[in-house]
Structure 1
Amino acid sequence: MEFTHDTLVEASKTWGLFYLIGFSICVMIYTFLPSNKKRFESAEREIFEKEDGPWK
């Protein structure tokens, strides 16, 4: 089988799409795992300091 530019472009578009879809699914699963709930809630609270507020 001869690898031409068109063959490589088609393969990269096809497998790149599957890779991105699979990676997105893995990120969504990681995000919604119950074991990560405490970590994300603490990150949500700690992003702002208590003294942060509107400029005076």
Structure 2
Amino acid sequence: ANERERARMRVLSKAFGRLKTTLPWVPADTKLSKLDTLRLASSYIAHLRRVLHYED
């Protein structure tokens, strides 16, 4: 059970790392909490929606 949990946490951490690298406003060496990463990703998605809405 412990090994499964460690593997799950490694996958989760890797996913957050990849998400952080897709955010255009975040320098690569910036340390962000998971919550901050999710908040920035949500803001970026909202920004992209606004851009797409205004192009229509």
Shorter-chain TM-score bucket reads 0.3 to 0.5
TM-score for the superposition, normalised by structure 2:
0.43
Q: In proportion to residue count, which structure has more helix?
A: 2
Work out which of the two has the higher radius of gyration on C-alpha atoms and give 1 or 2.
Answer: 1
Which structure would you say has the larger RCO, counting Cα contacts within 8 Å and 6 or more residues apart?
2
User: TM-score, normalized by length of structure 1?
Assistant: 0.43
